[in-house]
Amino acid sequence: MKLWQKDIDVNKAVENFTVGNDREFDLLLAPFDVLGNIAHAKMLASVGLLTNEESEQLTNELKNIYASIQHSTFSIQNNVEDVHSQVEFLLTEKLGDVGKKIHSARSRNDQVLVDVKLFLRNEIEELVNNIQPFFQLLIQQSEKYKNHLLPGYTHLQIAMPSSFGLWFGAYAESLIDDITVLQSAFKVVNKNPLGSAAGYGSSFPINRTLTTQLLGFADLNYNVVYAQMGRGKAERITSQALANVADTLAKLSMDMCLYLNQNFDFVSFPTELTTGSSIMPHKKNPDVFELIRSKCNSIKSLPNEITMMTTNLPSGYHRDLQLLKEHLFPAFKILKDCLQMAALMLSNISIKENILKDEKYKYLFSVEEVNKLVLQGVPFRDAYKKIGLDIEANKFTYSTELNHTHEGSIGNLCNDKIEAMMQQTLAAFDFEKVKVAITDLLN
């Protein structure tokens, strides 16, 4: 069944090609399609395009469909084109002509737009809720291992002393910036496109402000042409936000692969969290981190994929946009799985003590020795030259005692400030308003 079909059947090859994987990904949109339908039915009644009785019949049946989705008994039939058609088919099958009235004053274009925005809004919230416990784990481990020193590197050459307190805390603070970008994406998707119809509005006296309130959106996409132009842009902005989180996890995973390497030998994990070799009995491979790295690097390519898929599209709807779901939607689950696996690994990490006692790391302390001379009144350039000449003459002596006190250094991690920054960032999301609106809509 197709909402647009008249008397002529579409060529089967064309039908299969154009529908593609839509049914599979539309199942993810199903609960949000129902929510959009409920809000639309209530709005149609408010402007006289449905009677109150018709609106109540529709909303009651839509709630039944919503319950079937929640219980995983909802499906999109093979002869039905998409989720929008399936829901309308079920309404018509149950309510007859009343079911046929649900599509007044809208197009599948704004219907899928609102579905996608509701889906992305929900997924961003879930992702943020998955990031929070991982952030807290990083902060806890930062405090626990703040006195465990390790080499810091630039150009992959030993550079200056660092600590696992700094290492864990760095990735914790990185997540704050990642959530800040997710917040921007949330603001973009949390605007209501419903009522833009096919991209040019409607001659019906619809009330777009009402559907905005009913669905818990922060505001409208006011201009109906831009509402349609936002398709693709919202996905691209969201993918950029996902890519930032992925980048943090990929870099963390690369560090872990290095630190577990026997030549570094900074960390270890329980045998049951690593994998072995079919030929080398000594191997304990960091497969989890290698897969996180690869999966996250793949997500980092998403913004470019979506950009290229939407390049040079003029305003208005184009079927190219259908394919964005296949690229973007799975990324949320992949990223959440990576967060959970990274948390499992880092909560079971063992960290070697006294790493910097090994003489091969002695030059890590060269800057410390330069700074000691500066504190004695020696100009920095002269102090730098003296220590450099001592190193070349193999006369360098050093102490492993450190006294770093400024904000964000080894001796002053400022984790309390980082936690406060995260709480402030999280508070800017208005998840509660959305929750209340959706609860009211379904009651």
pLDDT digits (tens, 9 = 90+) for 343-360: 999 999 999 999 999 999
Q: How many CA atoms lie within 13 A of 127 on its CB side?
A: 31
Tokens 């898929």: give the residue.
309
pLDDT higher than 80, residue 54: yes
Distance (Å, rounded) from C-alpha 168 to C-alpha 145? 9
Residue 347's domain comprises 108-146+163-201+222-354+413-431
For residue 6, tell me if it sits in a domain: no
**Which of the residue ranges 85-89, 171-175, 273-277, 346-350 would you say has the lowest mean pLDDT?**
273-277
pTM of the model: 0.92
Question: Average pLDDT for residues 330-346, to the nearest whole number?
Answer: 97
Amino acid at 395: K
For residue 439, tell me if it sits in a domain: no
- 411 by DSSP, 3-state: which? coil
Q: Are residues 90 and 236 in the same domain?
A: no
Burial zone of 175 (CB within 10 Å; 0-12 exposed, 13-18 middle, 19+ buried) = buried
Q: Are residues 130 and 251 in the same domain?
A: yes
CB 372 within 8 A of CB 398: no
For residue 377, tell me if it sits in a domain: no
CB 151 within 8 A of CB 365: no
Helix runs in 355-414, H state only: 366-375, 380-392
Give the whole-number percent of the chain exceeding pLDDT 70: 96
Measured CA angle at 385 (ends 380, 390), to 5 deg: 125
pLDDT higher than 70, residue 18: no
Q: Are residues 256 and 123 in the same domain?
A: yes
Amino acid at 13: A
Q: Are residues 227 and 117 in the same domain?
A: yes
**Residue 72 maps to which CATH number?**
1.10.275.10
Q: Are residues 190 and 274 in the same domain?
A: yes
Q: Are residues 268 and 186 in the same domain?
A: yes
Give the whole-number percent of the chain exceeding pLDDT 90: 86
Neighbours of 31 (CB within 10 A): 20
Q: State the pLDDT confidence band at 4, using cuts at 50, 70 and 90.
A: very low
Question: Average pLDDT for residues 88-117, to the nearest whole number?
Answer: 96
**Residue 318 maps to which CATH number?**
1.20.200.10
285 bridge partner residues: 275
Q: State the pLDDT confidence band at 19, using cuts at 50, 70 and 90.
A: low
pLDDT higher than 80, residue 21: no
CB 299 within 8 A of CB 228: no
For residue 123, tell me if it sits in a domain: yes
Q: Are residues 189 and 293 in the same domain?
A: yes
pLDDT digits (tens, 9 = 90+) for 232-280: 999 999 999 999 999 999 999 999 999 999 999 999 999 999 887 667 7
Q: Are residues 134 and 184 in the same domain?
A: yes
Q: Are residues 241 and 286 in the same domain?
A: yes
Averaged confidence pLDDT in the chain: 94
- Which pLDDT score, from 0 to 100, does residue 442 have? 96
Domain count, the chain: 2
- Which pLDDT score, from 0 to 100, does residue 6 have? 54
pLDDT higher than 70, residue 5: no
Question: Average pLDDT for residues 9-19, to the nearest whole number?
Answer: 71
Helix runs in 12-107, H state only: 12-19, 22-46, 52-70, 83-95, 97-100
CB 42 within 8 A of CB 210: yes
- Which pLDDT score, from 0 to 100, does residue 8 have? 65
Question: Average pLDDT for residues 395-410, to the nearest whole number?
Answer: 93
Q: Are residues 122 and 26 in the same domain?
A: no
| 4-to-1, 85, 107, 108 alpha-carbon distances in Å | 9, 10, 10, 10
Distance (Å, rounded) from C-alpha 165 to C-alpha 148? 7
pLDDT higher than 90, residue 124: yes
Distance (Å, rounded) from C-alpha 373 to C-alpha 331? 53
- Which pLDDT score, from 0 to 100, does residue 418 have? 98
Q: Are residues 240 and 309 in the same domain?
A: yes
For residue 334, tell me if it sits in a domain: yes
Instruction: Find, among 169, 193, 305, 194, the residue nearest to 242 by Cα.
Output: 305
**Which of the residue ranges 179-183, 313-317, 360-364 would you say has the lowest mean pLDDT?**
313-317
For residue 313, tell me if it sits in a domain: yes
Q: Are residues 277 and 421 in the same domain?
A: yes
